């Protein structure tokens, strides 16, 4: 994997990592996306683990990324079947102590390459919170549309990028 960060990342499927790592992943997801979890009536780490295990099977995947010291660096997923915007990258999260080092771009690039390997789709979509729209725009993503999410009327941007 070519990297923008200073070190090589290692990747595994969520279902293949230890229970301890799954708990760590879900703890970081809760911190980053608490409102979405509450909206989806997911109130515990165990419920998060169950939801990821349920949703990310078959062509859908949830990946966990580690550094050379085997520390959890981040995570990301891709839904290839469930949304009208497919393939759609989501659940992007970098562990706070590793932010600002280029890992988010590495994770997105890896997921895009994985999608290209599995499909011939020429456009990839990405779920994005409003505060991250500028970040992704600077990296070649274009806003495709905005959606209100759930009962909270929270706006989510759907970004797209040509991956030919």
Domains and CATH numbers, the chain: 10-162 (3.40.630.30)
State the pTM of this model.
0.85
Instruction: Report how far residue 14's alpha carbon sits from residue 64's, in angstroms, rounded to the nearest whole number.
Output: 6
Beta-strand runs (E) in the chain: 10-13, 61-66, 72-79, 88-94, 123-128, 142-149, 154-162
Hey, which residues does 78 pair with through a beta bridge?
61, 89
β-strands 61-66, 72-79 pairing: antiparallel
Instruction: Report how far residue 164's alpha carbon sits from residue 162's, in angstroms, rounded to the nearest whole number.
Output: 6
pLDDT at 31: 87
In 3-state terms the chain splits into helix, strand, coil percentages (rounded to 5) of 40, 30, 30
The answer to whether 111 touches 63, Cβ cutoff 8 Å, is yes
Mean pLDDT by 10 residues, the chain (164 residues): 62 95 93 83 92 90 94 94 84 93 92 90 89 92 82 75 86
Taking the alpha carbons of 101, 107, 108, 113 in that order, is the dihedral positive or negative?
Answer: positive
pLDDT at 54: 92
Task: Give the burial class of 75: count Cβ atoms within 10 A of its Cβ; 0-12 exposed, 13-18 middle, 19 or more buried.
Answer: buried
pLDDT at 6: 56
Least Cα distance to 13 among 67, 43, 58 occurs for 58
pLDDT at 152: 53
Cis peptide before 87 (omega within 30 of 0): yes
Q: How far is CA 12 from CA 15, 33, 82, in A?
A: 8, 22, 22
Total residue count of the chain as it appears in this document: 164
């Amino acid at each position: 994997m070519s990297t923008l960060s200073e070190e090589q990342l290692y990747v595994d499927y969520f279902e293949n990592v230890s229970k301890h790592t799954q708990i760590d992943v879900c703890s970081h997801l809760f911190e980053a996306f608490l409102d979405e979890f509450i909206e989806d009536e997911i109130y515990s780490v165990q419920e998060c683990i169950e939801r990821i295990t349920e949703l990310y099977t078959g062509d859908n995947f949830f990946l966990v990324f580690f550094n050379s010291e085997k520390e959890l660096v981040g995570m990301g997923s891709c839904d290839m079947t469930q949304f009208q915007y497919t393939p759609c990258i989501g659940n992007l999260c970098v562990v706070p102590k590793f932010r600002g080092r280029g890992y988010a771009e590495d994770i997105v690039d890896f997921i895009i390459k994985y999608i290209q390997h599995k499909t011939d789709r020429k456009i990839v979509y990405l779920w994005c919170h409003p505060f991250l729209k500028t970040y992704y725009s600077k990296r070649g993503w274009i806003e495709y549309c905005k959606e209100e999410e759930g009962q909270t009327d929270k706006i989510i941007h759907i970004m797209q990028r040509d991956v030919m």
